[in-house]
């Protein structure tokens, strides 16, 4: 049986939950569909110290649990289910999830992003056998061992610093001769005696039989190849937006992010987007929350311009 709603929010990370708080307060019939764990990728972090209002920092689970309770307090329902397809309906949009089909007058896509992979030999075979994408998930398995982190952004440096709690040595591999991370993270990395930086280098192959044993590196300046013996590799080279399921439905940019306007509207009337899946903001919790709020306010205004659901004058996205 199809359930009719005012808005469906796809994704229960910071952007989706923030949007749900506002659509709930606007008394819009709201369901939030989440394929994984409520809270999103932020739960992979060890600690959050740059979210306003928490001068001493806060644990990600604690912050997201507060988001969830506040969202549900205002009436939004969180459902565990993966969205497979969005298509036009007779009175809005149809959302086909694994467990059920839903119909709504509007949609907010807040699916976030996923870890980007290196795409080199050995990566797929050794993922879970020494290759990881989450230091907070797997770091404790590498106590007193030599591990490597690849990347040069804030996420990579945060992962490297976290790993020093467990690993004996952390080799931080970066393709350039300087980092692009926040300055405070760079200062902490340079001051940490357990972190050794490998500049101007890329990983060309991940080697090992059944488990990670070494990395084949190439120096980008002199093209010299070398082998680095490590027992763990943490890939921290960025995120890819989870937008494949709307390819061909809404306009994407060259990085597959959903293109949005000032009101977080997409190229299709009635469909909005927020958070890391969009081209709007840096990938930060605070900006994700702000974009979710903006999308929710825009949805409320959009629905006020439409006739009540089911009336002859009700407009559909194709009108």
Residue 137 is among the residues annotated as catalytic for this protein: yes
Residue 200 is among the residues annotated as catalytic for this protein: no
Catalytic residue among 6, 138, 276, 300: 138
The rounded distance, in Å, linking the Cα atoms of 151 and 181 is 10
> How many CA atoms does the CB half-sphere of 175 hold within 13 Å?
9
The residues, ordered by sequence, that sit 6+ positions from 79 with a Cβ below 8 Å of its Cβ are: 31, 32, 33, 34, 97, 99
- Please say whether the beta carbons of 135 and 163 come within 8 A: yes
Catalytic residue among 46, 134, 200, 240: 134
Residue 138 is among the residues annotated as catalytic for this protein: yes
Catalytic residue among 6, 46, 137, 319: 137
Task: Catalogue the active-site residues.
Answer: 134, 137-138
């Amino acid at each position: 049986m199809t359930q009719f709603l005012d808005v469906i929010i796809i994704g229960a990370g910071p952007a989706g939950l923030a949007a749900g708080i506002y659509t709930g307060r606007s008394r819009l019939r709201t369901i939030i569909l989440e394929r994984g764990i409520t809270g999103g990728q932020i739960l992979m972090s060890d600690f959050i110290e740059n979210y306003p209002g928490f001068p001493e920092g806060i644990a990600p689970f604690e912050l997201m649990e507060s988001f969830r309770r506040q969202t549900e307090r205002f009436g939004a329902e969180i459902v565990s289910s993966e969205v497979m397809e969005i298509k036009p309906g007779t009175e809005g949009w149809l959302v086909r999830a694994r467990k059920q089909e839903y119909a709504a007058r509007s949609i907010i896509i807040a699916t976030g992003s996923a870890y980007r992979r290196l795409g080199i030999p050995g990566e797929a075979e050794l993922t879970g056998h020494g290759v990881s994408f989450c230091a907070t998930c797997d770091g404790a398995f590498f106590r007193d061992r030599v591990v490597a982190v690849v990347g040069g952004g804030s996420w990579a440096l945060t992962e490297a610093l976290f790993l020093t709690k467990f690993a004996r040595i952390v080799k931080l591999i970066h393709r350039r001769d300087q980092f692009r991370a926040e300055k405070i993270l760079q200062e902490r990395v340079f001051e940490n005696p357990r972190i050794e930086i490998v500049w101007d280098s890329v990983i060309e192959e991940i080697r090992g039989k059944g488990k990670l044993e070494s990395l084949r590196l190439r120096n980008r300046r002199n093209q010299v190849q070398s082998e680095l013996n490590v027992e763990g590799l943490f890939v921290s080279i960025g995120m890819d937006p989870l937008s494949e399921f709307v390819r061909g439905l809404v306009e994407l940019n060259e990085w597959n992010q959903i293109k949005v306007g000032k009101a977080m509207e997409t190229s299709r009337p009635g469909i909005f987007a927020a958070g890391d899946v969009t081209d709007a903001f840096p990938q930060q919790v605070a900006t994700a929350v702000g974009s979710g709020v903006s999308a929710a306010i825009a949805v409320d205004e959009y629905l006020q311009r439409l006739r009540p659901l089911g009336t002859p004058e009700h407009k559909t996205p194709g009108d």
